């Protein structure tokens, strides 16, 4: 099951959803910034996206909240749960006011609002996608020129023990001033809309990424902590395994440079959660597509990578072809 990032609020109201071109009545059981649960015997397919209208009575005229949700759980004869994928701008204020009034903590409501905006608010999603595409295009040039190695005659041994003709020495990118700034911007686009207290990761691959994200958070005066997870607890002093201003009950985003099988990221997440830190998401610069995404999501974490190895290989092949053509 995916880790919960939003506070559920028990709420009874009527609703309608569209399925197979028909309007189906339902009753709301609970709602959050993440989504809601509808009680109904008519069940849409798992992972289908359905339009939903929520009717909030007690006002004149009654409030209607329009949104779309992806079905993430179906319970026969009971109902189904959705996560929000879109909410109309005019409906956004109604939902925001309702959550703020019922959640109890203004600080927590602000954090959850950021997560919601990044997930389902169309204007924010558009800005995120545009910025990410610009940062990625610029960063890809640095990855190809500094970090991407190809040697089919002498394959590289990966952390998983496998051999590959391709290797990514990402520290040549994460520890370079120009790409350091781009990496900070790219990761910060995601982290800031998760409402996290901290950005964290396993030393050493995550260290420069953590620093880059902290620098971007500082530019926006966002109070973000950095947490570095050691491979083993210190043998002296405080004997800590987590460096930084650790506090119980914190939320964190785990970052990584390259994910192969996901072992390192999952290890960092476990150490953090053993210290009462809730991991909201795991984000990597590159996914080598060797089972890491599946392993991470199997443990209930959201996962995102800005690049895949296949994407980088295609860009490398294209650049080599262009060089060959221009040399003729």
Average pLDDT on 308-317 reads 94
Q: Checking DSSP bridges between strand 278-287 and strand 251-259, what pairing results, if any?
A: parallel
* Residue 113: pLDDT band with limits 50, 70, 90: confident
Cα–Cα dist 248/244, whole Å = 12
* Residue 181: pLDDT band with limits 50, 70, 90: very high
DSSP type of residue 147: I
Are residues 19 and 82 part of one domain?
yes
- Residue 279 above 80 pLDDT? yes
Beta strand spans in the chain (E): 9-19, 22-31, 35-39, 49-56, 63-75, 79-87, 148-150, 156-157, 163-164, 166-168, 198-202, 225-229, 242-243, 251-259, 278-287, 303-308
Q: Domain tally for the chain?
A: 2
* pLDDT single digits (tens) 231-272: 998 877 677 999 999 999 999 999 999 999 999 999 999 999
The reported pLDDT for the residue numbered 157 is 87
Q: Which residues pair with 87 in a beta bridge?
A: 67
CB 85 within 8 A of CB 33: no
Could you tell me the pTM of the whole model?
0.69
* Residue 5: pLDDT band with limits 50, 70, 90: low
Are residues 32 and 176 part of one domain?
no
The reported pLDDT for the residue numbered 77 is 92
Is position 89 within any domain?
yes
- Residue 59 above 50 pLDDT? yes
Cα–Cα dist 54/63, whole Å = 8
Q: Write down the residue that tokens 């370079």 correspond to.
A: 176
Of 48, 78, 105, which marks where a domain is finished? 105
pLDDT-above-70 percentage for the chain: 90
Sheet of 303-308: strand order equals: 242-243, 225-229, 198-202, 251-259, 278-287, 303-308
Cα–Cα dist 140/143, whole Å = 5
Cα–Cα dist 316/163, whole Å = 19
Which domain range does residue 70 map to? 9-105
The reported pLDDT for the residue numbered 2 is 46
Of 105, 131, 163, which marks where a domain is finished? 105
Are residues 319 and 201 part of one domain?
yes
CATH number at residue 18: 2.40.10.220
Are residues 131 and 88 part of one domain?
no
* pLDDT single digits (tens) 183-214: 999 999 889 888 899 999 999 999 999 999 99
Are residues 94 and 22 part of one domain?
yes
Is position 49 within any domain?
yes
Is position 3 within any domain?
no
Concatenating the DSSP letter of every residue in 241-284 gives: SEES---TT-EEEEEEEEESSSHHHHHHHHHHHHTT-EEEEEEE
Which one is predicted more confidently, 226 or 12?
226
Are residues 81 and 199 part of one domain?
no
CATH number at residue 167: 3.40.50.2020
Distances (CA, A) of 24 to 27, 45, 82, 162: 10, 14, 15, 52
Of 52, 75, 105, which marks where a domain is finished? 105
Is position 129 within any domain?
yes
Cα first-last separation, the chain: 56
Are residues 100 and 155 part of one domain?
no
| Average pLDDT across the chain, whole number | 88
Are residues 80 and 134 part of one domain?
no
């Amino acid at each position: 099951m995916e880790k919960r990032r939003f506070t559920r609020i028990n709420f009874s109201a009527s609703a309608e959803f569209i399925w197979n071109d028909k309007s189906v009545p339902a009753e709301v059981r609970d709602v959050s910034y993440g989504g809601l649960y509808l009680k109904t015997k008519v069940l849409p397919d798992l992972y289908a996206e359905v339009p939903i209208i929520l009717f909030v009575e007690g006002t004149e005229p009654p409030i209607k909240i329009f949104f779309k949700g992806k079905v993430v759980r179906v319970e026969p004869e009971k109902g189904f749960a959705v996560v929000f994928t879109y909410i109309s701008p005019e409906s956004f204020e109604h939902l925001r006011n309702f959550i703020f009034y019922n959640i109890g903590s203004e600080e927590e409501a602000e954090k959850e609002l950021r997560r919601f905006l990044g997930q389902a608010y169309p204007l924010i999603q558009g800005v995120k996608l545009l910025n990410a595409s610009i940062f990625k295009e610029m960063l890809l040039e640095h990855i190809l020129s500094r970090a991407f190695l190809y040697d089919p005659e002498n394959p590289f041994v990966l952390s998983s023990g496998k051999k590959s003709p391709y290797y990514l020495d990402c520290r040549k990118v994460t520890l370079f001033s120009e790409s350091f700034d781009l990496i900070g911007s790219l990761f910060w686009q995601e982290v800031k809309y998760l409402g996290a207290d901290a950005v964290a990761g396993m030393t050493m691959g995550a260290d420069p990424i953590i620093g880059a994200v902290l620098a971007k958070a500082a530019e926006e005066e966002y109070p973000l902590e950095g947490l570095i997870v050691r491979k083993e607890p210190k043998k002296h002093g405080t004997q800590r395994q987590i460096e930084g201003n650790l506090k119980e009950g914190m939320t964190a985003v785990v970052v990584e440079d390259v994910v192969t099988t996901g072992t390192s990221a999952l290890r960092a997440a476990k150490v953090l959660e053993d210290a009462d830190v809730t991991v909201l998401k795991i984000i990597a610069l590159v996914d080598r597509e060797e089972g890491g995404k599946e392993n991470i999501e199997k443990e209930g974490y959201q996962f995102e990578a800005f690049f895949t190895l296949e994407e980088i290989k295609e860009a490398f092949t294209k650049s080599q072809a262009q060089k060959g053509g221009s040399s003729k």
